[in-house]
Amino acid sequence: MAVEKRKSIFSDLRGPVGPVVCSSWKGIPVVKSRPVINKDAKKSKGQVKQRGRFKAVQQFLKGAAAAIKNGYQLRKNEKMTALNAATSYHLVNAVKGSETDIQVELSKVKFSRPLQSTEEGYHTQLIYREDSMLEFKWELNPLPAKSTQLDDKAWLIVYCSNRRNYLLHNGALRSDLGGIIPRTEFITGQDLFCYMFFVSADGKRVSETTYLGMVKT
């Protein structure tokens, strides 16, 4: 703190002047350094909550980026990436809790957003075989839409909530009527949340995401 004992240019000044603050103490002109404002302290609770929600969604989706890149179709001239579009959807539709306990509602998760669509799996099933594998099954729709093709590729997505990681498989075709994730790829004592969607062979058509439920291994 600087204290002036003689008349100076600061004598009649009060308040902030550049990097300093001019005031008076017992009739003596005083010049202090301007206090540093903590910008974080000025953030509203709403801003803090929104940032927390955004961070939680980004971390959740990061491991499924490959599936999202194939599943989220973008509108013409849409100025965002597929991952940005997925983040936007989940912020609005699949997040709950306060800033200290933000959670993604796993039953509302979507790994695809079709603008030109193909059909979802017909009569889909999820079967956990304790000795061997996690099996996804579906049937062929007896009255398929024109957009539905036998060579549509199936994306099988498993999210392990305990370890917060993903298993992604895209080797099965619609005509295969199923796909498996071998037992060697996951461990016991886990909660696995399972999803699937289809993509046409040329990548131009995508189905909605089907949530197949959760199994305990």
Which residue in 142, 89, 124 sits closest to 196, CA to CA? 124
Greatest mean pLDDT among 30-39, 92-101, 186-195 lies in 186-195
- Report all structural domains of the chain as residue ranges with CATH numbers, in order of start: 9-33 (no CATH), 45-216 (2.60.40.10)
How is residue 43 annotated by DSSP?
S
**Contacts of 46 by beta carbon, 8 Å cutoff, 6+ apart:** none
**Contacts of 211 by beta carbon, 8 Å cutoff, 6+ apart:** 106, 107, 109, 193, 194, 195
Helix axis angle for 45-62 and 82-93, nearest 10°, is 130
- The answer, yes or no, to whether residue 19 has pLDDT greater than 90, is no
Amino acid 190: pLDDT: 87
Rounded to an integer, the average pLDDT of 57-76 is 95
The H or E element containing residue 195 is strand 191-199
The answer to whether 109 and 95 have CB atoms below 8 angstroms apart is: no
Amino acid 126: pLDDT: 95
Average pLDDT along the chain: 85
Alpha-carbon 160 to chain mean position: 15
Q: How confident is the model at residue 108 (pLDDT cuts 50, 70, 90)?
A: very high
- The answer, yes or no, to whether residue 169 has pLDDT greater than 70, is yes
On the 0-12 / 13-18 / 19+ scale of CB atoms within 10 A, 92 is: exposed
- pTM score, whole prediction: 0.77
Question: How many Å apart are CA 155 and CA 171, to the nearest integer?
Answer: 8
Specify the pairing of strand 28-33 against strand 165-173: unpaired
